[in-house]
Amino acid sequence: MKLGLYPKIAADGIRKNGRLYMPYIFTSILMIAVFYIMHLLGFSEMLQNFEGASTARDILKLGTRIMAVFGTIFLFYTQSALIKGRLKEFGLYSVLGMNRKNLGRVIFYEMLMTWAISMTGGLLAGIGLSKLAELGFAKIIGAGVDYSFFISGDSLLCTFIVYSVIFFLIFLNAVRQVRFTRTINLVHADKAGEKPPKANWVIGILGLVILLTGYTIAIKIDSPLSALFWFFIAVILIIVGTYLVLIAGSVLLCRILQKNKKYYYKTNHFVSVSSMAFRMKRNGAGLASICILLTMILVMISSTSALYFNREETLRNRYPNQLNVTTTKNGYVENYKEVVSKIESDVAKMAEENGTATDNVISYCNYSLSGYYGDNKVDIDLDPYSTLSTTLDYDRVVQVYFFSLEDYNRLCGENESLSKGEILLAIDGKLKVGDELAVGNESYKIAKKINFRNSNLRLAIASNVVSTFFVITEDLNGTVYPFKDHADFSGNSILTWNYNYDFDTDLDVDGQVALSKILTGYMQNEFLDQDFYRSLCFCREVERDDFVHTFGGLFFLGILLSIIFLLSCVLIIYYKQISEGFEDQSRFAIMQKVGMTKENIKKSINSQMLTVFIIPIVFACLHLATVLPIVHKLLLLFGHNNIPLLVICAGICVLACGIFYAVTYKLTSNAYYKIVS
Amino acid sequence: MSLLEVTGLKKIYKGRRGGASVEALKNVNFTVEKGEFVAIMGESGSGKTTLLNVLAALDKATSGTVILDGMNLSTIKESAMAKFRRDNLGYVFQDFNLLDTFTLEDNIYLPLVLAGKKHAEMKARLDKLAPSLGIADLLKKYPYEVSGGQKQRAAVARALITDPRIILADEPTGALDSKSSDELLDLFSRVNQMGQTILMVTHSTKAASHASRVMFIKDGIIFHQIYKGSSTDTQMYQKISDTLNLLAQGGDLK
């Protein structure tokens, strides 16, 4: 054989199987382009305007790795689908006298060509789109825009190496596939007889039960801390349930429909129901995977977009005023009133020196301790590591804040009074308390339960991660005095004293930043020793950048990964349908001979296709709806508490996915129709 | 009037881009009376499959007319063709053409379901038909679970269940062993005795000997035909092989 023969056969193979190869090459190109872009934005030192945005860039670095792993898995999967579709052709070659080595050579040239096309196209597309992506990234994270054009040699090289390795692995896999198949099987690869699927009641019902259990857990979760653990349980149950339901449950459903003679023996249902039973047996797992992938996309993009679009509100919840002077001391502070008044007067003085008054001042201090709640008592002697790790009962962890009545009346504009031994109690969380509350060995009579949600008191908690008690008492130091010698497992006092002084200024952004630096310097000089372990001044304008970079980075990564995942999902479905189209060719030919009209064929294809397309997205939406409450609780950890926005973001994501889906559905069903008729 | 009248039938396959065209049917004329069992014999390439495809309305003739029970096939619109086939023709194929995703029962129901019939009616028809075809116990089985002969009997049931005006059979014994072939041919004879018109294309002398009339097709024209009359299957077999011998030697029978 001449040397030129193999490349020629390979090129022919790609050209003749264009319907299979085109989407494959297209996806490879896109993956390579996205990998290049992520690498460029994440790693390249050339992009000066992102220097400050290290968090966002770290997130993209992570994304680059995800892309490498996902690219490998996905390209492996589609390539083996491609090879399967061509086993017959290879079988013919081997009947004509090619040995496995020759076949390997054909495959090698095919891979070489797809690799060359994908790599060239991918790198060119990556370079072409990189500026666009860079501008988008800059816009999202609020960095400066720079109109010079960069091509990063490092990123090109890295992309080239990573995807060349992936392609090489895929090549080895393809050779393995062909080598370990016997010639006769190559020829008859797609003719293997198939048993009709059996309805498996046990697995079907088990799947449904597991799925519903997962749903119930997901809906029932209360606290984000326990959510983390139960979240994983729920996710695993939902994934397993999805697989079982789609594999066994759907066959079961088809069988039940077949039993219903009136429904089954209708022109529209007859063909689709019976072939669906076969289809689901083979594709149940594939559809379940697509469904899980879709759910991931929806959760990822709706949560990151909700975080991103809510960044200002999150920021303002965390930093209600322009500047926040804060100090924290471990243990009992005998002279806290002196400390407070010193900070108050000094800060006011320094603000004045910098040409501004202090407006909207919110000044308060509190003691906090944490314990384990049960039966109207907060137990403060339990070792949390030994207790909690075995019970995982995070729902009973409680944070207790002690405020003075004076601060409370001032902050909330109330005029309450308390006698000795009496407290006001505010509860955040689902814990129930009777008329009395005991903390350690001290017990208090609850004079009144108050709601703090709409008052300035809510600012005292950064996020409602665990349940919280607010205990308001007449004599603050007197109340916490009994706990002063309690030590936690690491030997520190369980009491922590916090002081916050929030205020606005008349200064512009630069002025605020300058003042915050001065105040930080002052606080650290005066109030930073081993007991005062955190004394500084936060400036909202400085923190804003950090918020925007983190949330923007996540959002940008979410968008890129979603695009890739979504495209992959759709491509998997496309391949499934195309390969089924070839299998169904003869079936539809028979039905036409028996008297099926073209219109019947179209209808039956549409109903089949619609089911195959719609099942994953319907399940994905169901999954999304049930995990959304947990997602909300996890977002609380970021300080995000905007349920309507989250729901709107989820809705828009579902809609966008749906539209994208509908378009591919149309394209795929047209391709399918062309094959079978 | 005859059930089926074929006059001046011609079919030319055009070569692509001015390539040589092939005349598969030159000038075919014949009639089939109601209740007849006609076999058409010919070698590979003689045009018999083309003829059957045109009769089954799967293919359009270049010229000439086919009239089935007063209906002219060439005037039926493309869109109504499938319905016409469903209502008037029963087709039995060499390779059975059963759908592997259906049980035998559902395979037999297929044309009726496509016609939108009620399940009760379908069941009544099948209950009447199944015992005489010997498939009553096999209805719940899938095609891969039964033998070739059983598959072909199910295919016959599928052809018969619509009560067609004519059954077209394309090499129905082609994929069967000799025992199954005999059973199937006996079945055809019985069905024919019940009044069903059958037109069968075959190159098996054995199969053709069951027919009441055998037509020979060669190079696209009906070359010769013989009637069974009162002769037995064996005598008919002899007559047919004599004719085939003559044909093979290129002898002129006319």
Between A277, A591, A597, which is nearest B83 by CB? A597
- Token pair listed for A258: 């077949």
What is the mean pLDDT of the segment spanning A250-256? 82
Q: Which residues contact B87 (CB under 8 A, 6 or more apart)?
A: A595, B115, B162, B164
pLDDT at residue B132 above 70? yes
CB-nearest partner of B102 from A261, A274, A592: A274
Q: Tell me the one-letter amino acid at A597.
A: T
Answer whether residue B179 shows pLDDT above 60. Answer: yes
Query: Nearest-CA distance from B41 to chain A in Å?
Result: 22
CA A551 to chain centre: 12
Q: How far apart are CA B94 and CA A145, in angstroms?
A: 73
Name the more confident of A528 and B164: B164
Among A145-154, A156-165, A423-432, top mean pLDDT goes to A156-165
Please name the helix (run of DSSP H) or strand (run of DSSP E) that holds residue A587, with its range, or none.
helix A540-594
Residues A265 and A166 grouped into a single domain:
no
Q: How far apart are CA B106 and CA A261, in angstroms?
A: 11
| Residue A527 domain flag | no
Per the CB < 8 Å rule, is B97 touching A597? Answer: no
> For residue A675, how far is the Cα from the chain centroid?
38
Query: pLDDT tens for residues B196-221?
Result: 999 999 888 988 999 999 999 888 88
Contact B114 A267 (CB under 8 A): yes
Same domain, A373 and A484: yes
Q: A47 pLDDT exceeds 70?
A: no
The CA–CA distances, whole Å, from A619 to A601, A663, A672, B114 equal 27, 19, 24, 32
Query: Does residue A522 belong to any structural domain of this protein?
Result: no
* Cβ neighbours of residue A602 closer than 8 Å, sequence gap 6 or more: A673
Residue A1 — very low, low, confident or very high, per pLDDT cuts 50/70/90?
very low
Residues paired with residue B213 on neighbouring β-strands, in sequence order:
B38, B227
- CA–CA separation, B107 vs B89, rounded Å? 16
User: Which of these three, A167, A192, A217, is where a domain ends?
Assistant: A192
Sign of the CA dihedral with B155 first, then B160, B164, and B169 last: positive
Q: φ and ψ at A488, to 5 degrees?
A: -85, -175
Name the strand (E) or helix (H) holding A635.
helix A598-636
Nearest Cα neighbor of B164 from B205, B139, B199 is B199
d(CA B5, CA B31): 4
Predicted local confidence at residue A387, as pLDDT: 55
**Shortest CA distance to A456 belongs to which of A426, A417, A412?**
A412
* Cα B228–chain centre separation: 19
Is A287 a residue whose pLDDT tops 60? Answer: yes
Higher pLDDT, B138 or A186: B138
Is A192 in the B-facing interface, judged by CB distances under 8 Å?
Answer: no
Q: For chain A, how many structural domains are there in total? A: 3
Q: Are A267 and B86 an interchain contact pair (Cβ–Cβ within 8 Å)?
A: no
Identify the residue with better confidence: B24 or A640.
B24
Report the range of poorest mean pLDDT among A298-307, A379-388, A645-654, B242-251: A379-388
- Alpha helix segments (H runs only) across B29-171: 48-55, 78-88, 104-114, 119-133, 148-160
How far off is chain A from B135, nearest CA to CA, in Å?
20
Tell me which chain A residue has its CA closest to the CA of residue B109: A265
**Cβ atoms within 10 A of the Cβ of A649, count?**
22
Q: A interface mutation test: which of B101, B117, B123, B126 has the most A CBs within 10 A?
A: B101
Section B171-179 average pLDDT: 86
In chain A, count H helices and then E strands. 20, 10
Task: Tell me which residues of chain A, numbers 600 to 619, contact chain B at a CB-CB cutoff of 8 Å.
Answer: 600
- pLDDT, greater one: A450 or A555: A555
Over residues A333-357, the mean pLDDT reads 83
Three state DSSP letters for A606-617: HHHHHHHHHHHH
Question: What's the gap between Cα B127 and its chain centre?
Answer: 24
User: A553-568: per-residue pLDDT in tens?
Assistant: 888 888 888 888 888 8
| Residue in the block written with tokens 């007067």 | A345
Give the model's pLDDT for residue A213: 92
ipTM of the complex as predicted: 0.79
Question: Which token pair is A198?
Answer: 């059996």
Do residue A351 and residue A434 come from a single domain? Answer: yes
Same-domain pairing of A23 and A152: yes
Q: Which residue among A274, A592, A596 sits closest to B101, beta carbon to beta carbon?
A: A274
Q: With a cut of 80, say whether residue B17 has pLDDT above it.
A: no
Percent of chain A with pLDDT over 70: 89
> What pLDDT shows up at residue A167?
92
- Tell me how far the alpha carbon of residue A160 is from its chain's centroid: 28
Helices (H), A245-310: 250-259, 261-264, 267-309
Question: Phi and psi (nearest 5°) for B146?
Answer: -120, 165
CA distance B119 to A263: 10
- Confidence at residue A461, expressed as pLDDT on a 0 to 100 scale: 59
Question: Average model confidence (pLDDT) for chain B?
Answer: 87
Q: Are residues A310 and A358 in the same domain?
A: no
pLDDT of residue A562: 87
Q: What is the mean pLDDT of residues A90-119?
A: 86
Of A232, A225, A234, A283, the closest CA to residue A623 belongs to A234
Q: What is the per-residue pLDDT across A24-45, written as a single tens digit (0 to 9) for each?
A: 888 899 889 989 988 888 887 7
Same domain flag for A604 and A650: yes
pLDDT at position A465 over 60: yes
Dist. CA B162–CA B92, nearest whole Å: 13
The contact set of B with A (CB < 8 A) is 56, 58, 79, 82-83, 85-87, 91, 93, 97-102, 106, 109-111, 113-116, 118-119, 122, 142, 144, 158
- pLDDT tier for residue A124 given thresholds of 50, 70 and 90: very high
Chain B residues closer than 8 Å to A598 by CB: 79, 82
Q: What is the pLDDT of residue A192?
A: 44
CA distance A237 to A225: 19
One domain for residues A471 and A342? yes
* A518 assigned to some structural domain: no
For residue A387, give both structure tokens.
């207790």
Q: How do residues A165-196 score in pLDDT, each as one tens digit?
A: 999 998 988 888 777 766 666 555 444 455 66
Mean pLDDT of B17-38: 86
Q: Indicate whether A666 belongs to any domain.
A: yes
Q: Which residue has the tokens 């036409």?
A: A592
Contact flag B106-A275 (C-beta cutoff 8 Å): no
CB neighbour list of residue A666: distance below 8 Å, 6 or more residues apart = none
Q: Indicate whether A328 and A264 sit together in one domain.
A: no
Residue A519 lies in a domain: no
Q: Which residues of B touch A591 (CB under 8 A)?
A: 99, 110, 114
Are A332 and A462 contained in the same domain? Answer: yes
The two structure tokens encoding residue A659: 């539209």
Q: Domain end: A156, A174, A192, which one?
A: A192
Domain termination site, one of A159, A192, A225: A192
**A572 and A669 co-located in one domain:** yes
As a whole number of angstroms, the distance between CA B184 and CA B201 comes to 14
pLDDT given at position A189: 46
A66 and A186 co-located in one domain? yes
Q: Is the pLDDT of residue A626 over 50?
A: yes
Give me the sheet containing B89-92, strands edge to edge. B89-92, B166-170, B198-202, B37-41, B213-218, B221-227
pLDDT exceeds 70 at position A573: yes
Residue A533 lies in a domain: no
Q: Are residues A336 and A276 in the same domain?
A: no
SS3 state of residue A198: coil
| Residue A386, pLDDT above cutoff 70 | no
Length of chain B: 254
When pLDDT is cut at 50, 70 and 90, the band that residue A224 belongs to is low
Q: Determine the distance from the C-alpha atom of residue A373 to the mean position of all C-alpha atoms in its chain, rounded to a whole number.
A: 32
The verdict on residue A197 lying in a domain is no
Distance CA B42, CA B27 (A): 15
**Mean of per-residue pLDDT scores for chain A:** 81
- Could you tell me the residue range of the domain that residue A279 belongs to? 202-318+543-677
Q: What does the alpha-carbon distance between residue A309 and residue B95 come to, in Å, rounded to a whole number?
A: 64
**Is A516 part of a structural domain of the chain?**
no
